[in-house]
């Protein structure tokens, strides 16, 4: 069957409505088929509006897309980023896959990072780190830094500056002593506008206090070593960034050096090991027993079968509250494509990724999740609930209430509340007939619940790698290149042009609206 035929079959299956609650009765083995555990991570897909027949069709679809062949190419280091003619080897940073030459490069870099981090920690000169980057050079390290604090002490004050808004670098530097502050500049090209401007602001701040030795307080992580040298960063403090590592997959590389310095190389190594365990699972397990494959196929069903346009990601764990923002880049930059590898229209691909931490979201957008309309088959949007079973805050009452809310929301989305139940509560209220439909919940709204035994560095690596491989599988099925990002370039080019024109007091050749906006700025 062609891809078009398979998508048509999914649509046909999806047109046969199902009751998620009834599936537990008609499929007695549903939990054993739709709940999967790998290491410290358990994923429960049983509350998805997807029958076993639908899952079987999805698995057959994945096989016809040559998923196993693409997976083999990925781990063999073949060129899977076809538009840029590059291999994709972020798994090699975790010790899985790659050629002997790549493995040697990675081993050297990991040793260099660990010894450098140990030296900084041992000497005790620096008390704070300001990590400057944007996109994957910021979102990954920021997410991981929060999460590491659940199980490890932070030896240095770790701060982040990412936005071109001057408040970002201003907030990062406020109250710090230049003499004891280490600035880590992360930019693959060393020309990214936001990162460059923030780095220059930090250099001015350091130079005013330290003079010619300011460069000693800088570290660069980049593929442009010459650019870092021109910035006056000592050669021994420049860490390489290879072109086979995409920014949104880069936290495992020297991009994570700030994390090693702040939390220690051993903690970072656990993080890598957790991801490597998920890599091996994805590489070695057959499709029907493969957790990333199951997660990807669930998303395909919701997007291409049921027609949902978004996915809500709700971590019921404050230490991973940045997960939705991280996944927005990982998923939407990877698979937010409308054109296939062959240059044709792809059809429906990546949904919108959004969310916030629980229980905050319950008091904001959960009204829409439970009762709002949608273009999807059953209303609302699919949800990924993520919970940590171990209490890391030494507040067991809080943690029990947090987990209860998480589990209750997934159940409530599924079971809803029918009008008969509402009627029994309201009658004999005179306006009951008008109020009953407003208080009824349709239910049958799909969700997945992922639990981690604890928020250890290993478990965090496991979780992030799970989503990475989910993205790859979906990219194969949608036939898009998950590893380029041409869509981010046009706005960057125009921004450079507009900035130059505004600084010269010109409006240039732009549409009337843009020209008027430029005229508002007094540079």
- Residue 379 exposed, middle or buried by CB count within 10 Å (0-12, 13-18, 19+): buried
185: which DSSP letter? Answer: E
492 catalytic per annotation: yes
CB 187 within 8 A of CB 253: no
What local confidence, expressed as pLDDT, does residue 85 receive? Answer: 93
Is it true that the peptide bond before 77 is cis, omega within 30 degrees of 0? no
Is it true that the peptide bond before 428 is cis, omega within 30 degrees of 0? yes
The CATH code of the domain at 90-270 is 3.40.50.10490
350: which DSSP letter? Answer: P
Angle of CA points 291, 292, 294, to nearest 5°: 65
142 Cβ contact partners less than 8 Å away, ≥ 6 residues apart:
160, 162, 322
**Set 333, 357, 370, 468: catalytic member:** 333
What local confidence, expressed as pLDDT, does residue 310 receive? Answer: 97
Concatenate the DSSP letters of all residues of 268-318 into one string. Answer: HHHHHHHHHHHHHHHHHS-GGG-HHHHHHHHHHIIIIIS---EEEEEEE-G
Distances (CA, A) of 313 to 270, 274, 382, 384: 25, 21, 9, 5
What local confidence, expressed as pLDDT, does residue 523 receive? Answer: 56
Distances (CA, A) of 38 to 35, 281, 388: 10, 8, 15
Per domain, the residue ranges of the chain are: 90-270, 486-519
Please give the structure tokens belonging to residue 341: 């590898």
What is the mean pLDDT of each successive set of 10 residues along the chain, which is 523 residues long?
A: 88 94 96 97 98 96 96 95 93 94 93 96 97 96 98 96 97 98 95 94 97 95 94 94 91 97 98 98 98 98 97 98 98 97 96 97 97 89 98 97 98 95 85 90 97 98 98 98 90 89 90 92 72
281 catalytic per annotation: no
- Reported as a single tens digit per residue, the pLDDT across 370-399 is 999 877 899 999 999 999 999 999 999 999
What local confidence, expressed as pLDDT, does residue 432 receive? Answer: 83
Residue 40 CA to residue 459 CA, distance in Å, equals 6
Q: Tell me the whole-structure pTM to 2 decimals.
A: 0.96
What length does the chain have? 523
- Report the chain's C-alpha Rg in angstroms: 25
For residue 90, which of 467, 494, 478, 513 has the smallest C-alpha distance? Answer: 467
């Amino acid at each position: 069957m062609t891809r078009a035929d398979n998508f048509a079959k999914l649509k046909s299956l999806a047109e046969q409505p199902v009751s998620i609650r009834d599936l537990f009765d008609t499929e007695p083995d549903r939990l054993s088929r739709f709940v999967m555990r790998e290491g410290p991570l358990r994923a429960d897909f049983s509350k998805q509006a997807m029958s076993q027949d639908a899952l079987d069709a999805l698995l057959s679809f994945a096989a016809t897309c040559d998923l196993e062949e693409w997976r083999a190419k990925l781990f063999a280091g073949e060129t899977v980023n076809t538009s840029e003619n590059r291999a994709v080897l972020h798994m090699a940073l975790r010790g899985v896959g790659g050629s002997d030459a790549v493995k040697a490069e990675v081993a050297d870099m990991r040793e260099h990072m660990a010894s450098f981090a140990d030296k900084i920690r041992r000497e005790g000169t620096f008390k704070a780190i300001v990590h400057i980057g944007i996109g994957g050079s910021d979102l990954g390290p920021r997410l991981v830094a929060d999460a590491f604090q659940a199980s490890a002490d932070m030896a240095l004050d770790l701060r982040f500056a990412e936005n071109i808004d001057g408040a970002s670098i201003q907030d990062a530097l406020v109250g710090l002593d230049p003499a004891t502050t280490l600035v880590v500049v992360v930019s693959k090209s060393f020309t990214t506008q936001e990162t460059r401007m923030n780095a220059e602001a930090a250099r001015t701040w350091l130079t005013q206090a330290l003079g010619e030795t300011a460069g000693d307080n800088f570290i660069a992580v980049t593929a442009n070593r010459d650019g870092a040298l021109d910035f006056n960063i000592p050669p021994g403090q420049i860490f390489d960034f290879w072109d086979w590592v995409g920014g949104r997959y880069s936290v495992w590389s020297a991009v994570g050096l700030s994390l090693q310095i702040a939390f220690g190389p051993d903690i970072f190594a656990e993080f890598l090991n957790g991801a490597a365990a998920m890599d091996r699972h994805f590489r070695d397990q057959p499709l029907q027993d493969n957790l990333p494959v199951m997660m990807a196929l669930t998303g395909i069903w919701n997007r291409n079968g049921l027609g949902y346009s978004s996915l809500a990601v709700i971590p019921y764990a404050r230490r991973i509250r940045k997960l939705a923002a991280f996944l927005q880049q990982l998923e939407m930059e990877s698979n937010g494509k409308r054109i296939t590898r062959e240059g044709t229209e792809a059809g429906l691909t990546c949904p919108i990724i959004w969310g916030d931490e629980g229980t905050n979201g319950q008091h904001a957008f959960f009204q829409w999740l439970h009762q709002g309309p949608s273009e999807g088959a059953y209303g609302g949007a699919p949800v990924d609930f993520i919970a940590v079973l171990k209490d890391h805050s030494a507040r067991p009452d809080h943690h029990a209430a947090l987990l209860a809310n998480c589990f209750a929301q997934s159940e409530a989305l599924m079971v809803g509340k029918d009008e008969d139940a509402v009627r029994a509560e309201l009658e004999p209220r005179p306006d009951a007939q008008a109020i009953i439909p407003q208080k009824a919940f349709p239910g049958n709204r799909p969700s997945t619940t992922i639990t981690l035994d604890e928020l250890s560095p290993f478990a965090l690596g496991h979780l992030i790698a799970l989503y990475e491989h989910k993205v790859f599988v979906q990219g194969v099925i949608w036939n898009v290149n998950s590893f380029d990002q041409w869509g981010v370039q046009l706005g960057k080019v125009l921004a450079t042009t507009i900035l130059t024109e505004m600084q010269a007091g010109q409006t240039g050749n732009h549409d009337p609206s843009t020209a008027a906006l430029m005229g508002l700025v007094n540079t």
